[in-house]
């Protein structure tokens, strides 16, 4: 075999039954540098071609077993499209044409110049085949790239459109179809421009932007509205870029379209919320988890006098007044750090030193992983309300004390009366005992001098008899004891008054409720003792309750007086028919509960809903003003976060139930009612 000068990957299969000619042909080709093989008939040619499809067949048309045409048809049946050159005898050009139609790359007529022409023809065919192959590969690559870019474009979450130089659509991605609910078939390949299909683009200047992009600018637009055929409106943010050929000439534009409707809605929502916070009549403070202030709203500045600059990065404790206890703050932080909401009243100080009261609700803000990221405090200035409430309670308290004063005076008067008469008795008996003692000491002198007379003895005896010494010895200790009892009673009443009219506290203090009730019962004794007996059932294990004791006593007094009045209404006066007021306390998990029940007439259905209304009364002028239960409600519910309810049965009596939280500032989410 000759040296391969062409480097051609093709092997030339010579299909020729004339062996001598076949050798000549092969030699000629080998000389030019081609590799050759040869077969003598059609069957061999088919078998070889199937095994070596990327070869070139140089085929004689007439073979002993079949014609060239049959070979090609047989190969085509086997899906083998091997390139071939046909060789025909002289004068057989008709066959040549037929074979060209069947796909022959060229033909050679076996005439005198045949062997000389052969290498040129084969070379040309091979060159042609090589060029074809390169082209096919390039096309395949192009197709692959096209698919890849197409896939990239289609897998983008943004919509992509492309327009040619005339603003006719050349691309409209799936996302575009989804956003605008418009199929690409109605755009691509048509002579519609974007503004022909979507006229509103002109209104929002999108056509101008597209033209600018077509002249080479990169254009960005945000929040451009679009409208669907069903009337709904959405928003997109768009970028338009010029599209250039390899030589840099602009051949169209590409648009990248992002659907931002939800985003814009969320933004609007946030805007609304932030407006609400900014304009809120409540103070809003947001801190990080360490308590450093990150945000305060204008109301905060208005109320406290501190600007945002004053407080950003600082701890809200700058507002703390000395009246709010450390424990309260600790409890506040413990509550919110454990993920719960803290509610309570805080006594704070403004920048100018003025004090104020606020009702605060402080909650943790959590991220989607349930981790606390911030705290938010929403607070209401309740200074005015506190002052008014205090004034109201104070007014009623003064009134009650005035009303109680007569009763208390009476209560103190009784023991005072008998203490006084005992003292009279002791004074008289002391003076007669003194006289007697003088007589006795005179008698002693006389006896010592030995001059005692029977008259003197009789005189002393008469005097002792007159002084009723035996009686005095018996009665004096009794009088002293009785006076002592009386004084104890007085001091008990005085101390109960003190406990009852507890000075108003700024902060809640923990109090033994049982003691508080006892003192109230004592000071109010004159109000109930003629109509009822009081029975108490105190829970000795009731923990101290955080409260405003003065105000709570007032509530208990109001309810006891109501109970006495209710019993008085039904009691059979003069027949000794006294009623019973039962007072009990108990601890119910996180609550202290106290019940005050009476054996009065009960409360008719139709007035039950109005009992706690201010100035609602069924009593005659002078007996009631209708403030008692209104104040009780305000004190228990507003000031103590407690509840006040009642149970009543016509003809049997009424029970008022007061429940006070033992941990009043800890309110779990969802439990606030
Ligand atoms: N234990 C009770 N039994 C029956 N009715 C009651 C009882 N407690 C309150 N009421 C009814 O509720 C009304 C309102 O009570 P409230 O204590 O608010 O006012 P008042 O007792 O009428 O006047 P004030 O307490 O201001 O002197 C009473 O007038 C009475 O009709
Ligand atoms: Mg009352």
Each residue of 261-302: pLDDT tens digit?
999 989 889 999 989 988 989 999 999 999 999 999 999 999
Beta strands (DSSP E) in 245-353 are: 250-259, 283-288, 293-296, 341-349
Q: pLDDT value at position 666?
A: 60
Greatest distance between any 2 Cα atoms in the chain: 207
480 assigned to some structural domain: yes
What residues does the ion ligand 2 have nearby, CB within 5 Å? 562, 628
If asked whether residues 594 and 577 sit together in one domain, one would say: yes
Which atom of ligand 1 has the smallest separation from the CA of 656? 1
Which atom of ligand 1 has the smallest separation from the CA of 562? 8
Sheet hosting strand 653-661, strand order edge to edge: 532-537, 579-588, 591-598, 653-661, 643-649
Round to whole Å and give the CA distance between 200 and 205.
9
If asked whether residues 626 and 524 sit together in one domain, one would say: yes
Residue nearest to atom 8 of ligand 1 (CA): 562
Of residues 324 and 96, which shows the higher confidence score? 96
Beta strands (DSSP E) in 493-542 are: 509-511, 532-537
pLDDT value at 572 more than 70: no
504 assigned to some structural domain: no
Sheet hosting strand 341-349, strand order edge to edge: 293-296, 283-288, 372-381, 355-366, 341-349, 666-667
Ligand 1 centroid to 365 CA: how many Å?
Answer: 45
- Averaged pLDDT, 521-545: 93
Of residues 393 and 552, which shows the higher confidence score? 552
With beta carbons less than 8 A apart as the criterion, state whether 200 and 225 touch.
yes
Containing structural domain, residue 45: 11-136
Answer with the one of 204, 238, 265 that is the final residue of a domain.
265
Residue nearest to atom 28 of ligand 1 (CA): 617
Q: pLDDT value at position 504?
A: 66
Residue nearest to atom 17 of ligand 1 (CA): 628
Most confident of 324-333, 438-447, 465-474: 438-447
Ligand 2 centroid to 631 CA: how many Å?
Answer: 10
If asked whether residues 408 and 533 sit together in one domain, one would say: no
Residue nearest to atom 12 of ligand 1 (CA): 611
394 assigned to some structural domain: yes
Q: pLDDT value at position 180?
A: 94
If asked whether residues 124 and 97 sit together in one domain, one would say: yes
Nearest ligand to the CA atom of 619? 1
Ligand 2 centroid to 397 CA: how many Å?
Answer: 12
Report helix, strand or coil for 96: helix
120's CB contacts (< 8 A; 6+ apart) are none
pLDDT value at 505 more than 90: no
Ligand 2 centroid to 515 CA: how many Å?
Answer: 22
Counting residues of the chain whose pLDDT is more than 90, the rounded percentage is 53
Residues with CB under 6 A from ligand 1: 558, 562-563, 566, 598, 600, 603, 611, 616-619, 624-630, 654
Distances in whole angstroms, Cα of residue 661 to Cα of each of 540, 546, 587, 636, 637:
18, 8, 10, 10, 10
If asked whether residues 411 and 485 sit together in one domain, one would say: yes
Q: What is the rounded average pLDDT for all residues in the chain?
A: 88
Nearest ligand to the CA atom of 564? 1
pLDDT value at 220 more than 80: yes
Q: pLDDT value at position 575?
A: 56
Ligand 2 centroid to 577 CA: how many Å?
Answer: 22
127 assigned to some structural domain: yes
234's CB contacts (< 8 A; 6+ apart) are 179, 225, 226, 227, 228, 259, 261
If asked whether residues 406 and 481 sit together in one domain, one would say: yes
pLDDT digits (tens, 9 = 90+) for 330-366: 888 999 999 999 988 888 899 998 889 899 999 999 9
129 assigned to some structural domain: yes
Residue 611: give its domain's CATH number: 3.30.565.10
What is the chain's alpha carbon radius of gyration, rounded to the nearest angstrom?
58
Best probe residue, ligand 1, of 399, 606, 628 (max atoms within 8 Å of C-beta): 628
Ligand 2 centroid to 41 CA: how many Å?
Answer: 130
pLDDT digits (tens, 9 = 90+) for 90-120: 777 788 888 888 889 999 988 888 889 999 9
144 assigned to some structural domain: no
Q: pLDDT value at position 158?
A: 92
Q: pLDDT value at position 498?
A: 79
pLDDT band at 669 (very low <50, low <70, confident <90, very high): very low
Ligand 2 centroid to 558 CA: how many Å?
Answer: 5
Round to whole Å and give the CA distance between 544 and 113.
129
Best probe residue, ligand 1, of 611, 622, 631 (max atoms within 8 Å of C-beta): 611
If asked whether residues 296 and 321 sit together in one domain, one would say: yes
Residue nearest to atom 19 of ligand 1 (CA): 626
Residue 124: give its domain's CATH number: 3.40.50.2300
Residue 370: give its domain's CATH number: 3.30.450.20
Residue nearest to atom 3 of ligand 1 (CA): 566
pLDDT value at 574 more than 70: no
270 assigned to some structural domain: no
If asked whether residues 261 and 349 sit together in one domain, one would say: no
Phi, psi of 589 (to 5 degrees): 50, -110
If asked whether residues 492 and 373 sit together in one domain, one would say: no
Residue nearest to atom 5 of ligand 1 (CA): 603
Residue nearest to atom 10 of ligand 1 (CA): 562
User: How many domains in the chain?
Assistant: 5
20-24, 124-128, 153-157, 175-179: which has the minimum mean pLDDT?
Answer: 153-157
If asked whether residues 290 and 373 sit together in one domain, one would say: yes
pLDDT value at 244 more than 50: yes
Q: pLDDT value at position 528?
A: 92
Answer with the one of 209, 238, 265 that is the final residue of a domain.
265
Round to whole Å and give the CA distance between 17 and 369.
85
Ligand 1 centroid to 504 CA: how many Å?
Answer: 25
1 assigned to some structural domain: no
Best probe residue, ligand 1, of 561, 624, 647, 650 (max atoms within 8 Å of C-beta): 624
Ligand 2 centroid to 625 CA: how many Å?
Answer: 8
Ligand 2 centroid to 535 CA: how many Å?
Answer: 20
pLDDT band at 74 (very low <50, low <70, confident <90, very high): very high
If asked whether residues 430 and 477 sit together in one domain, one would say: yes
- Residue ranges in 238-382 assigned as alpha helix (H): 261-279, 298-304, 308-311, 326-337
Ligand 2 centroid to 611 CA: how many Å?
Answer: 10
Residue keyed to tokens 């139709």: 606
- Averaged pLDDT, 599-620: 89
Answer with the one of 437, 462, 497 that is the final residue of a domain.
497
Which atom of ligand 1 has the smallest separation from the CA of 616? 14
Phi, psi of 281 (to 5 degrees): -75, -5
If asked whether residues 84 and 229 sit together in one domain, one would say: no
């Amino acid at each position: 075999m000759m040296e391969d000068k062409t480097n051609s990957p093709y092997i030339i299969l010579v299909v020729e039954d004339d062996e001598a000619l076949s050798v000549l042909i092969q030699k000629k080709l080998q000389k030019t540098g081609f590799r050759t093989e040869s077969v003598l008939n059609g069957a061999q040619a088919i078998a070889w071609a199937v095994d070596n499809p990327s070869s070139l067949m140089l085929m004689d048309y007439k073979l002993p077993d079949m014609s060239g045409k049959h070979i090609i048809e047989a190969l085509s049946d086997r899906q083998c499209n091997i390139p071939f050159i046909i060789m025909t005898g002289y004068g057989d050009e008709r066959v040549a044409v037929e074979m060209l139609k069947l796909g022959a790359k060229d033909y050679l007529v076996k005439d005198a110049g045949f062997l000389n022409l052969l290498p040129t023809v084969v070379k040309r065919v091979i060159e042609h085949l090589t060029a074809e192959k390169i082209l096919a590969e390039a096309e395949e690559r192009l197709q692959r790239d096209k698919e890849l870019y197409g896939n990239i474009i289609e897998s983008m979450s943004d919509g992509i459109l492309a327009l040619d130089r005339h603003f006719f659509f050349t691309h409209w991605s799936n996302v575009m179809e989804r956003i605008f609910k418009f199929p690409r078939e109605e755009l691509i390949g048509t002579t519609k421009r974007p503004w022909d299909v979507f006229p509103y683009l002109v209104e929002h200047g999108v056509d101008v932007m597209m033209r600018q992009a077509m002249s080479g600018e990169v254009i960005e637009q945000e929040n451009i509205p679009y409208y669907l055929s069903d009337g709904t409106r959405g928003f997109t943010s768009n970028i338009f870029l010029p599209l250039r050929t390899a030589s840099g000439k602009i051949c169209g534009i590409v648009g990248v379209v992002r659907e931002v409707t939800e985003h814009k809605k969320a933004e609007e929502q946030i805007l609304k919320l932030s407006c609400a916070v900014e304009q809120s009549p409540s103070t809003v403070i947001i801190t990080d988890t360490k308590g450093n202030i990150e945000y305060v709203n204008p109301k905060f500045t208005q109320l406290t006098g501190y600007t945002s600059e004053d407080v950003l990065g600082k701890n809200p404790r700058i507002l703390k007044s000395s009246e709010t206890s450390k424990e309260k703050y600790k409890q506040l932080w413990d509550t919110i750090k454990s993920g719960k909401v803290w509610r309570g009243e805080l006594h704070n100080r403004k920048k100018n030193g003025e004090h104020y009261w606020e009702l605060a609700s402080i909650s943790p803000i959590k991220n989607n992983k349930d981790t606390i990221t911030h705290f938010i405090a929403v607070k209401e200035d309740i200074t005015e309300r506190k002052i008014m409430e205090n004034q109201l309670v104070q007014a009623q308290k003064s009134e009650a004390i005035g009303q109680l004063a007569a009763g208390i005076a009476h209560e103190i008067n009784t023991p005072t009366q008998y203490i006084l008469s005992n003292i009279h008795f002791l004074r008289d008996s002391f003076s007669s005992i003194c006289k007697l003692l003088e007589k006795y000491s005179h008698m002693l002198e006389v006896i010592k001098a030995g001059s005692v007379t029977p008259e003197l003895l009789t005189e002393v005896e008469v005097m002792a008899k007159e002084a009723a010494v035996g009686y005095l010895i018996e009665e004096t200790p009794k009088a002293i004891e009785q006076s002592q009892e009386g004084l104890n009673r007085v001091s008990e009443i005085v101390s109960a008054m003190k406990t009852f009219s507890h000075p108003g506290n700024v902060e809640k203090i923990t109090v033994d409720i049982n003691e508080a009730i006892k003192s109230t019962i004592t000071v109010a004794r004159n109000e109930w003792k003629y109509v009822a007996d009081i029975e108490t059932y105190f829970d000795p294990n009731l923990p101290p309750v955080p409260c405003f004791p003065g105000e709570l006593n007032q509530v208990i007094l109001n309810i006891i007086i109501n109970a006495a009045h209710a019993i008085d209404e039904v009691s059979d006066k003069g027949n000794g028919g006294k009623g019973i007021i039962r007072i009990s306390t108990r601890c119910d998990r996180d609550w202290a509960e106290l019940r005050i029940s009476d054996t009065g007439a009960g409360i008719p259905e139709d007035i039950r809903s109005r009992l706690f209304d201010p100035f609602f009364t069924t009593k005659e002028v002078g007996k009631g003003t209708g403030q008692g239960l209104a104040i009780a409600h305000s004190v228990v519910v507003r000031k103590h976060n407690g509840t006040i309810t009642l149970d009543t049965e016509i003809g049997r009596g009424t029970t008022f139930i007061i429940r006070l939280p033992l941990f009043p500032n800890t309110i779990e989410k969802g439990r606030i009612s």
